[in-house]
Each structure stands twice: as structure tokens, then as C-alpha cells.
Structure 1
Amino acid sequence: MYWADATAEKIIKKRDRDGIEEYVVSSGITPSGHIHVGNARETLTADGIHQGLKKAGKKSKLIFVADDYDPLRKLYPFLTEEYTKYIGMPLSEIPCPEGCCNSYAEHFLNPYLNSLKDLGIEITTYRASECYKAGMYNDAIIKALDNRLKIKEILDGFRKEPLADDWYPLNVVCEKCGKMINTKILGYNSEDKTITYVCSDCGFENNVQPFNGIGKLPWRVDWPARWQIFGVTAEPMGKDHGASGGSYDTGVKISRMVYGYVPPEKMIYEWIQLKVGDKAVPMSSSAGVVFAVKDWNEICHPEILRFLLVRSKPSKHIDFDLKGIPNIVDDYDELERKYFELIEKQKSSSEELNTNDLDKIRLYEVITTNISEKLPVQVAYKFCSIIAQIAIADNEEIDMERVYDILGRNGYNVEEFTEFDKNRLIARLEMSKNWAKNYGEKLNINTKEQAKMEYEKLSDAQKEWVNTFIERFESLESNEITAMNLHELIYEIANSLELSPKEAFGASYAILLSKKYGPKLGSFLASLSSEKVIELYKLN
């Protein structure tokens, strides 16, 4: 059974007896910097479980809580010195770094929420700043203050050093300077529900009810309070929160003992590491090691990101290598072919599919929001990146007429392309062009002079192969210049000259690209204009 469906099934077995009318699956993030692909794993994991609950016939709601009322904790590498003065203020109250959004928080949050729409995820978003200011946390704040000693005892049970005796489970946003990390509660009156606090940043002191945004619960209390406020029954979490003694363990106790709420099931996901050179480094917004979700949509289809993040169990580690995007797309294309093959098998055969095949069908349906009626035309991502760099018009736009000609020479029946096929092809061409430009290999085809220099370095046998090949190439009719014909011609000439195919290919890649390797040679040559091939090979 697909992992998300299996997880949903376990949750239902545990929680159905509680008489739950609607399951609520939650995820969230603090928008302190660029929200990256690693963060997206939590949201997509939550969505997978949400889909599993719905498949099981349960009413389910997917929510996202943006912790935009958390303070700016330090001056991050991407901020100017001017932002030093905002350290300690809630992210929602700080100006946008680029002046394009209503706040610092919105600057980083909006692109991520827009990306979720592109990923086909329907989600209800709550901003902590709005929730606190609207009074949604008021009762939770009272309970936390009334149970201060109980919460302290719970937290101290997981600490090496106990919290101070005068500690309170509440952070106060100073009414004068707007900062919250250096305010201290001096006392709490349970009768009129007021606190007395002082701000060491500006010296302001006041006695006030800490409601409607004046007070904010610290994370280890805010989280269990949130479970009760939103009725959360399932929430994925990073391994730091789920570790022994982490915020989930303390949250469970606070949820039960203070808020009287059954905590959500524990579901830990592994972090995603970004490959930088030969090293894999955990993604971190604050450290600047990120690949933002909004940037993904510039280089690849949304469903491929979903495929990357939810094809395996959340507990499986993922190393994310931008240079490896073509391989991920190839794997998705393979799944797509298998999906349509299995659907056809279901229609035409009474034989039941095995669990592995059913999981593949389920995975494809979960990650692909717009499923075609039949197997779409598939043009490999890496090949698209090559075509997109060859078929460039004078205005730097992709020349689709040239693209269709290239595809025709590579065995595609362009006349049978549907609108769905054409739209997906155009998107893949643009995305792969962006990928090649920023992360992959740019296609730098040699000039005549460069080809001559490479030709002089070849062995006599390789030179003979080049001369023979171009002689035969010039004799071909236009409709004979196809990837298959050229592939066969390469081997035929090499065999006739008793030259190894490796040496023949090596000679070609040297002349074309000044490299020892390159794209599939037959397809590549069929993609170039005949004039270009003759220019680079006719060197004797």
C-alpha cells in the first residue's frame, strides 16, 4: 500500500473511536527567509496524508499555519545592516526587504503559497499574526498562565538546567518599541487576567491583559495550543521536533495536561540536503543554503517536485542535486508510461494487479493533478534542453517550427500531437532551457576554426572516419537525415574502417563541442542544420 494511504489508515484506526467528524492535517513554517524545497516536504507529506484520508472516505481538511508572529532572531546573510534595528520584532511587523510586499513575512510567504497553487495543493492558510490579533489564542494564553508551574515542570523534565522560578510561558510584544525578545513578565493576576511586564530594550513598563496580539506563546507551548485551537489530528514534523525530548514530546504532555486535547499522531520526515559540489548540505534559510520552491517552477514541472518528495516514505533521506534534474524527470516519465500501461491492463484483463503496480497507479494519481486521457508525448528533458538551445530565433525565443522539424527527424509524429502534448512540450522546453543556463551544461557548439583545431589533434584513423562520414552525409536526401539513419551510419563507417565506435564518437564530440562526451550523437546531429554539420565536419 502506498505510504500515504497506509499512514492514513493507521490514523483512522487510532482516532475514529474519538468520534472525529473532520480530520485536520496541518503543516507550517516560519517565513524568516526563502522557503525552500526541504520545507516543501512537510507540506507535501501533509497533503499526501490528507489525500489518503479522503480516499478512505473521511472528511479531511488541509491547513497551513504561517508562524509570521515569530521574531526576527538575527541579521541573516541576505539582509542589510539596516535590519539590525528590527531584530526582536515579529516578522509580520517588519518592512519588506525589497519594498514589494506588505511585510517581511509576506515577502517570503507569498511566493511559497503561490507555488503550492502551482503544485495543485488546495490548502487553508492561517497567519499566526492574524490569529493572535483576532483573539483566537486568548483562551490558550489564559490556560498557559494559569498552569505556569505545571508547564514549567513538564519542560524542566526534559532540560539539563531548569527554567528560572520567575519564568512565564508567554512572550510579550512591547507596546512601545514593538520588540518581544527582551520583555519580561514581572507578575500575573489571575483574577483580572492581567500581566505586568517591562521591556529592557526601551524601558517601557505596563499592566495589561496580554490578549489580541500583545502576548505570544513560546513555541513549545504555542504548538500544543495550536493543535487544540485548530483541531489538528495529524501533522508531519522534522526530526528535530520529533527527537526524544523535542518539542513534540513536551507538546504531547502540555496538550493533554493543560489543554485537555489528544495530540496528533507523530510523523517524522527526513531533511533534504542540497548537493553543493561533492558535498551534500542540509538546506537552511538562515544559512543561505536554499533552493526556493518558487525557483523550481522556473526549471521543471510542478508534478516532478511532488514526485521527488512523495514517491518514497517521508523517513527516507533525499539528496537534491540540481544537475540531476533530467534523471528525476526521466524517472517520472517512466512512471507515467507504466501508469497508462497498467490502466490499460486493468481495462482489458480480469487479472488483478499486484500491490506494487497498484502503488504506482496511486502515486501517479496523487502527484499528477491534470491527467491526460492517453499517454502524452514524452520528449526527454535533457533532449529538450538541447533542442531549446539549438532552435533559438533571432529574438531569443524558441522557434517551434524548428523544434517540430527536429522532433520529426528524431522519430516523432508531430501531426499527432494534441494541444495537451504541445503545451507540455513548450513548458518543458522553456524550463529545460532555464535549467541548462543556470544549473546544467550550456551547449557551446564549436566554430569552424575551433573544429579545425580539434581535427588536427585526431588520430589518422579518426580523421579518415570524419572525412568519410561527411562525404556520406552530403549524399543523403533531406528526408534521410534522421537520428536513426545517422546512428547507423556512424557505426557502419566505423566498422568499415575498423575503428572502435568509442573513437568515432570521441572524434565527433571533439569537433562539435571540444569534449570527450556529449548528447546522443545521432539525435544531436539530426537536430543541427545540415549546413552546420557540413561546416564542422568538412575540414580536410
Structure 2
Amino acid sequence: MLDSPMSDLQTLCTAAKAWPFEQARMVVERLKKAPKDTVIFETGYGPSGLPHIGTFQEVARTTMVRHAFRCLTGDQIKTRLIAFSDDMDGFRKVPSNLPNQEMLAEHLHLPLTKVPDPFGCCESFAHHNNAKLREFLDGFGFEYEFMSSTEQYKSGAFDQTLLTMLDRYDQVMAIMLPTLGEERRATYSPFLPISPKTGRVLQVPTLARNFERGTITFEDEDGAKTEVPVTGGHVKIQWKPDWALRWTALGVDYEMAGKDLIDSVQQSSKICRALGGNPPEGFNYELFLDEHGQKISKSKGNGLTIDEWLTYAPPESLAYYIYGKPKTAKKLYFDVIPKAVDEYISFIDAYQKQNEAERLENAVWHIHSGNPPSNVTPISFALLMNLASASNAETKEQLWAFIRKYAPGASPETHPFLDKLTGYALRYFNDFVKPTKVFRAATEKERAAFEDLIRRFDALPADITDGEAIQNEVYAVGKEHGFEPLRDWFKALYEVLFGVESGPRFGQFAAIFGVRETSALLRKGLAGELLKAA
């Protein structure tokens, strides 16, 4: 099928430089060497803490690679995306951001699917975290198959590969032992038996192996020598061999991983080959950092959660932020949200004017699987927050009163994205912008410029909505009053009127808010009323 004549889109895709195409072409080359009917894309998730955006980004980015692969191959080859939860792993540490800390501490070392849910709503802690992950993935419309480690081990799906690992135990140990410290080497085994007496996942040496019976022998917590099968969910495999087990048993063709897992990928790939498998293609992405430049951690609860981002911005903006420069470390905290939203909107607007080749390089093509929406909003996120500030609006309806004057045909029904955006903007403004506003009085030079701008605005038609024409008046005032550089003039407007140092184009703000209303705002700024109100 890979040798079939290419469509025009396929031809463009082969030359596209966007990173999802670069990754997808690696999978195409893999198939040329080892053809198969279905290509398996996988993402992994450790449900030992609440899901965070670092978890979501793997599914989002892998989905982008999967779609690029489909376009490169003309969608002639079946694909699956498996979201795999390592929920049979032992519960080793109680995350500090969870309730019921004492209760959780009593269940350390049990498989995560056996740890009670601290929130009291699900069958186990793992079930709760898995549900939170799936809830978001489903809400965004991802096409994926959720797979549970516990179910795979217990159902027998991994049995054949587990027996192969038992048979090739010495090869696996030869790969792993040189990577471990002296103390760890003395007790290491790829097999972690689950105690028949306590149910805990034990990190203990393997004392004996019996391939004919498919068993290992170990010393249980009470000191008794115990024999268990390696099949049927009686053991859990250590992290790096477990990754290799999964790749081999499921036939995974593509999986990306964080930069901190480079060594794990290398060792797991060696073990995968030892088991007779072919390690997947992929790349190591840079990690998200919190506002202090520290790696985001599930146990620490630093950085943003999925729910926090979605409280203040649409999911499309999160996908946009995740798309860009995956091999560059990026900070992920509340301050990045407004810029991500408005850049997403600008890429949507640009898409309509681009040719097919240019569109393949546009982030929104990858975010929306080749079918981005059009005309999502005529007003930016930053402008909506300025509108909320100037009007003291507390509800979406109050903002829509201004929006309708600026865009008479717009409504929540015709512009549902904009309607949602008004709600996000109000929440973000009230929680993050309003508490940090610092108003100041105008200087004498600024006062004269403000008075000039008021006169010019008062001379404009009251119903003018031409943001560029209004912006030209603002520019003219700044130049005539000797502001050098001119950005100092706009900085003055924003500091006196909004209590912030910068913002979107002032002309468009005045067009939406109304030139008469903006004149009144300028007068309040000159009179010191905004400073007093703060």
C-alpha cells in the first residue's frame, strides 16, 4: 500500500517540515522494513498522582503524529492509539496534594488499583485518576483506546511475553545490572511478585525460576519461601523491563517520552530486542516547568492541572501551547494562558488566507486534524479582559452588550467560541489580573496627550467601529506629543487606565468599548478616579 500512487495532499505532506510530519515519516520508513496491517501508537501514564497537563500532552502530540501518518499514507493503513495506564504499579509515595493522607499511607506498596480512592468516589485511587484522564481526553474528542496494566496482566494478554522474559531472564539481567548501583544490583529482579498474603508489590530477589511451570520463587514478607506463576497477574514487571514487555506484547510502533527518560528508552529498547520485539520509533521531548523553572511533578502538585487550564481557557489553546517546539523546555503556569489563547486565535485567522502547503505548517491544522474552524472570534482574549476592566462587567451578558455594538451580527449562537471566551476572560481577569492592578496618575506630558486624545475621540462618529481608524488617532497623538519611543505612550495609556503595563491594540479596544465610553474612561483617568477606586 505504501507504494500506491500519491494524492496531491500526500505529495504536499512528504515535503512538509512541521514536526508531526517528521515523526510520521519515521513510522512510514519503519513499515517499509517490516510491513504490517495496523500501526500501533502508544502513550503511557502513571496514575500515582492526579493527571496533569504533562500527561495530556503526550496524547495530544501523539495524535498529531498519528494524523500526519494517515495523511502521508492516504489513510490506507489502519492505526490504533493506546493510552496505557500503568495502574498495577506499587503505590510507593503519598502525593502531598491529596486528601486522606493517613489512610493512603496505610496502603503503600499495594497495586494502585488496590489503593482506596482518597476522594471516595471510585473503586480505587487508580480508577479515580484513570477516570480523570479519560474525562479530559473524551472531552477533547481524542480517538484512543484506554488500556489498563492491571487488566492486561490479569487477563493473560501479557502471559506469552512474560514467559519469554522468564526464559530470557539472564539476558534481561545482563542489560539491567550495569545500570544499577552496587546495593541495588544485589537484590534486583525484573519480576516483582505480588504477595499472596499481603497483596503488596514486593521488590525482592528472585531465588529460583522454573520455566516448565512458569514460576519464580521468592521470600515473602513473613520470611516464607513462596512460589508464584509469572502469568495471570501474580507478578508485576519492573519499570524498564515492563516498558519493553508492553512494546513487545502489543507490537507498539511509536511512543514518545520525556527527556528525563532517555536512559529508560535505551535500556527498554535493548530488552525489547532481547524479547524478540522491535522497539518503537519516537523522540524525547523537553519537560514542562513551573513558574520557578522546576520540573512539574505529580507528587509535588506544582504547575498547572488539566482542570485549572480549562477553568480559564478553552482546550484548543492548551493543544496550541503543547504543539509548539516540543524539544524546547517551556514554563507552564497561569501567566502563559492569555498569550496561548490569542496566538491560537491568530493562527486560526491566518489559516483562512494560506495555501495548502502553508496550512500544513500551521499549528491549527495539526490541532484540529486538518479541519480547523473558521471565524472563531473577532475579539481577542486580552481585549475581552480590558473590556471587563473598563466596564466593571461581572457577567457574560454585560460584555455581550459591547460586543453587539462592535459586531451587530454576532451572538452567543453565531459565535459559540467567543461566548465561551467571555466567560474564561472574566474568570481570568477577576482571579489573576484584577488583584495585581497598579494604577498611577498621568504625568503633565501624558495629561496633555490624554486631553488631546479626548478631543479627537469626541470628534469621531459615536458609532465608529473601525479599530484601525481609531488606532491612527492614538498614534498621531503619541507622535505629536513627542513620545519616544512610541511604546511609552501606549504604556502610559495602559498604566493609567487599566493598571497594567501593556495590552492589545488600543484602537480596537476603543472600537469595542465605544469612543464616547473611552473618552469618559480617559477623563476618569485624568481625574484620578481610577486610582482612587483601586
TM over 0.5: yes
Q: 1:16 to 1:162 in 2, by over 3 A?
A: farther
**Letter matched to residue 195 of structure 1:** I
Contact 1:510–1:516, Cα closer than 8 Å, also in 2: yes
**1:294-333 deviations in whole A, cap 9, x for unaligned?**
3222222222222222243x33333335313232233323
Superposition map of 1:40-55 within 5 A: 40-55=56-71
Which residue identity does 1:64 align to in structure 2?
Answer: A
Aligned mate of 2:334, from 319, 322, 327: 322
1:406 aligned to 2:422? no
Partners of 2:187 and 2:205 within 8 A in 1 = no
The CA deviation at 1:101 is: 2.3
Query: What's the CA shift string for 1:34-75, capped at 9, x where partnerless?
Result: 222223332223212211221113221111110111112123
Equivalent of 2:253 in 233, 248, 252? 233
- Residue 71 of structure 1 corresponds to 90
Letter in 2 for 1:66: S
Alignment of 1:83-162 (within 5 A): 83-159=104-180, 161=182
Change in Cα spacing, 1:418 to 1:365, as seen in structure 2 (3 Å) is farther
CA spacing shift, 1:502–1:290, aligned 2, 3 Å: closer
Matched residue of 2:319: which SS?
helix
Letter in 1 for 2:341: V
- Structure 2: how far apart are the matches of 1:72 and 1:403? 48
One-letter identity of the residue aligned with 1:425:
L
8 Å CA contact 2:256–2:285 kept in 1: the answer is yes
Distance 1:303 1:62 in 2: 20
Give the whole-Å Cα distance in 1 for the aligned partners of 2:404 and 2:241: 62
1: distance between equivalents of 2:503 and 2:131?
40
Question: TM-score under structure 1 normalisation?
Answer: 0.81
Query: How far apart in 2 are the matches of 1:6 and 1:368?
Result: 18
What is the rounded CA distance, in whole Å, between the counterparts of 2:236 and 2:179 in structure 1? 22
CA distance in 2, matches of 1:309, 1:505: 31
Percent of residue pairs identical: 22
Corresponding residue for residue 497 of structure 2:
512
1:257-296 matches, cutoff 5 A:
257=274, 259-274=275-290, 276=291, 279-296=292-309
Distance in 2 between the 1:462 and 1:253 partners? Answer: 68
Distance 1:17 1:503 in 2: 61
TM-score, normalised via structure 2 length: 0.81
Q: Confirm or deny that 1:250 pairs with 2:267.
A: yes
Aligned partner letter, 1:88: H
Asked if the contact 1:145/1:169 (under 8 Å) is kept, the reply is: no
Post-superposition Cα deviations, 1:369-413, rounded to whole Å, max 9, x if no partner, equal: 5946754433111112233456676xx5311xx43442355xx43
3-state DSSP class of the match of 2:463?
Answer: helix
Q: Deviations over 1:143-164 (max 9, x none)?
A: 2223222221121244453865
SS in 1 for 2:293: strand
Check 1:131–1:486 CA distance in 2 against 1; reply closer, same or farther (3 A cut): same
Going from structure 1 to structure 2, the CA distance change for 1:329 and 1:482 (only over 3 Å counts) comes to: same
Equivalent-residue separation in structure 1 for 2:141 and 2:151 (angstroms):
25
One-letter amino acid matched to 2:220: C
**1:323/1:229 CA distance change after superposition, 3 Å:** same
CA distance in 1, matches of 2:324, 2:152: 34
**Mean alpha-carbon deviation: is it higher for 170-179 or for 372-381?**
372-381
State the match for 2:409 in structure 1: 415
- State the alpha-carbon separation in 1 of the partners of residues 104 and 373 from structure 2: 52
Stretch of structure 1 that moved more, 522-531 or 316-325: 522-531
**Does the Cα contact within 8 Å between 2:309 and 2:337 map onto a contact in 1?**
no
Q: C-alpha separation between the residues in 2 aligned to 1:445 and 1:165?
A: 61
Residue 40 of structure 2 contacts residue 251 of structure 2 at CA under 8 Å; is this kept in 1?
A: yes
Unaligned regions of 5+ residues in structure 2, if any?
Answer: 1-15, 529-534
CA RMSD of aligned residues (A): 3.5
The letter of the residue matching 2:396 is I
Give the distance between the partners of 2:390 and 2:524, measured in 1 at CA. 15
SS at match of 2:147: strand
- Specify the SS of the correspondent of 1:435: helix
| Between 60-69 and 287-296, the greater mean CA deviation after superposition | 287-296
Q: Which residue of 2 aligns with 1:341?
A: 353
AA at the equivalent of 2:37: E
Conservation of the 8 A alpha-carbon contact between 2:412 and 2:419: no
Q: 1:327 to 1:10 in 2, by over 3 A?
A: same
Any conservation in 2 of the 1:388–1:398 contact (CA below 8 Å)? no
Answer yes or no: is 1:379 the counterpart of 2:379.
yes
Residues 212 and 465 (structure 1), Cα distance of their counterparts in 2 relative to 1, 3 Å cut: same
Per-residue displacement from partner, 1:118-166 (whole Å, max 9, x unpaired)?
3332110101112112222222332222322222112124445386567
Which whole-Å deviations, capped at 9, do the CAs of 1:479-533 have from their partners, x for residues lacking one?
A: 3597667656656677787888778767655653456656654555562757963
| CA distance in 1 between partners of 2:518 and 2:182 (Å) | 76
